[in-house]
Amino acid sequence: MNFIFPDFSQSRVLVIGDVMLDRYYFGDTPRISSEAPVVVVNVDRIEECPGGAANVAMNVAALGAKVKLISVVGVDDTSKILARKLSLFNVDYSFIYNDNYLTTIKLRVLSHHQQLIRLDFEKKFRNSDILSFIEYIKLALLSVNVLVISDYAKGLLNGCLEDIIAIAHEFSVPVIVDPKGSDFSKYSGATLLTPNLLEFEHALGCCYNREDVLITRGMEIILQCRLSAMLITRSENGMLLLQRGREPLYFSARAKKVYNVTGAGDTVIATLAASMSVGKSLEEACFLANVAAGLVVEKSGTSVINLSELKSVINGHVDIVFGVLSEDDLLRNVDLARQRGEKIVMTNGVFDILHSGHVTYLSKAKRLGDRLIVAVNSDSSTKRLKGINRPINSLEKRMVVLSALSVVDWVVSFNEDSPKRLIGSLLPDVLVKGGDYQFCEIDGSQEVMANGGQVYTLDFELNCSSSKMIDVLQQSKDK
């Protein structure tokens, strides 16, 4: 396909549906609980992201499109967090506040990219605000090109879908639906339905292994529900587009590594809506949505894909990003560097007060390969290792200074006492440690060597130590 990239700044999308807050606890699992046969998670990072229809709106906004979000929320702290995060992404939202409703929270606990458990905090919605909801939608439809209905079956859309779709038709606005439940007839009259394979099979009441049967039943639903098309997302098997009067179209899966599928459907429908809003054909919109889906599942948590990421992949050239990165972003960029044949070197430390010894050491480490990763202990990790009065400089300051060195390509933090897990995740070609260590004493050395990598120790510069400098400064202060 000779793809012409759309100008998303002209896109106008309305998103309605259930909003929620996706909360993530990340941590290591060092042991089994003494209370029950379950793992203990040492939580070292917490993230909060808008989910459901709010994540769809965030994805639309991340592409540079104008988006309006309408939903009902509770009068609670969760809705305040959602409002604040949506504002940061320039999402124009209209919340109808309901005292009797609890804004949904989905709490997921993850370790090493594996989800261990999900806890839902929610209360089913009752349609007391439905008239206000529809009036908001009517007003918003005056200035948009596409309507997205994001149904997460929390009760907001019960009993009003037929009216909403009919109103959209009156305004000549196409309707894209991310469906939920076994009854697709409630979405009758929509332009496009985007179920995943599990949702599609749930609607059919059984599983189909044969491709021809899948297509036949899909076309039956299109006719029965008066749809124009259906896009079935199928994880590692890509996407299947079914349209009235046309041959099925297949889009191969593009993800190299799948870390998390949470919110992938939101990214798909957001990219479809933004593309169709500026006149892209359904085939072109699906092509772009497939690329976006391949990118978002390589990220952890509920994530969005921005315009530059999409353009890089579509144009066949992905730029490597350097500097201070999250672990997930670092993994992707290290993979890109390896694809170009570059040798990855890694070291770690506190680097509290940067001195000439550090610079000499890092320069020697860089000469062992093409790219140098410096992993830095977090503030809490440093306190556990060095004492409550350390670090002198915060993690952010230490990382900024390190990233400014020409020999350092990437800086990443870790919260554990040991970088072993992080090293095992990145698996550098060369692992470097300063000082007189045996290889078996170096955290991560076994993992690196088992992967075919090398481990080196480098001598420190004499009489250069952050701890000694701090002691001298403290003694001078005490005099």
What is the residue extent of each domain of the chain? Answer: 8-16+54-94+130-314, 323-478
CB-based contacts of 43, cutoff 8 Å, min separation 6: 25, 26, 27, 109
What are the pLDDT digits (tens) for 66-108? Answer: 999 999 999 999 999 999 999 999 999 999 999 889 999 999 9
Q: Is 316 left (phi over 0), alpha (psi -120 to 50) or beta?
A: left
Mean pLDDT of 400-411: 95
What pLDDT shows up at residue 433? 93
pLDDT in tens, 149-190: 999 998 899 889 999 999 999 999 999 999 999 899 999 999
**Res 132 pLDDT > 80:** yes
Confidence band of 146 (pLDDT split at 50, 70, 90): very high
Q: How confident is the model at residue 235 (pLDDT cuts 50, 70, 90)?
A: confident
Q: Which residues pair with 230 in a beta bridge?
A: 193, 242
Query: What is residue 224's predicted lDDT score, i.e. its pLDDT?
Result: 96
pLDDT score recorded for residue 295? 85
Residue with tokens 């299947």: 240
Q: Residue 475 pLDDT more than 80?
A: no
Mean of the per-residue pLDDT values of the chain: 89
Q: How confident is the model at residue 441 (pLDDT cuts 50, 70, 90)?
A: confident
- What's the confidence (pLDDT) of residue 316? 66
How much of the chain, in percent, has pLDDT values that exceed 90? 66
What confidence score (pLDDT) does residue 301 get? 58
Q: Which pairs with CB-CB distance under 8 Å and at least 24 residues apart come from 432-435?
A: 432/345, 432/346, 432/347, 432/365, 432/368, 432/456, 432/457, 432/458, 433/347, 433/348, 433/457, 433/458, 434/347, 434/349, 434/361, 434/458, 434/459, 434/460, 435/459, 435/460
pLDDT digits (tens, 9 = 90+) for 241-278: 999 989 999 988 765 555 556 568 899 999 999 999 99
- pLDDT at 478 (0 to 100): 56
Closest CA to 339 of 363, 309, 370, 362: 370
Domain 8-16+54-94+130-314, CATH number (from 3.30.360.10, 3.60.15.10, 3.40.1190.20, 3.30.1520.10): 3.40.1190.20
pLDDT of residue 298: 74
Distances (CA, A) of 256 to 263, 300, 316, 466: 18, 14, 15, 41
Residue 472 pLDDT class (50, 70, 90 cuts): low
Distance CA 202, CA 185 (A): 13
Provide, for the chain, the percentages of residues in helix, strand and coil under a 3-state DSSP scheme, each rounded to the nearest 5.
40, 25, 35
Answer whether 0.85 is exceeded by the pTM: no
Residue 381 has pLDDT above 90, yes or no: yes
pLDDT in tens, 308-340: 788 877 776 566 889 999 998 899 889 888 887
163 noted as active-site residue:
no
- 478 to 352, 390, 471: CA distances (angstroms): 21, 18, 10
CATH code of the region 323-478? 3.40.50.620
Which of these is catalytic: 266, 352, 379, 409?
266
pLDDT confidence tier of residue 1, bands split at 50, 70 and 90: very low
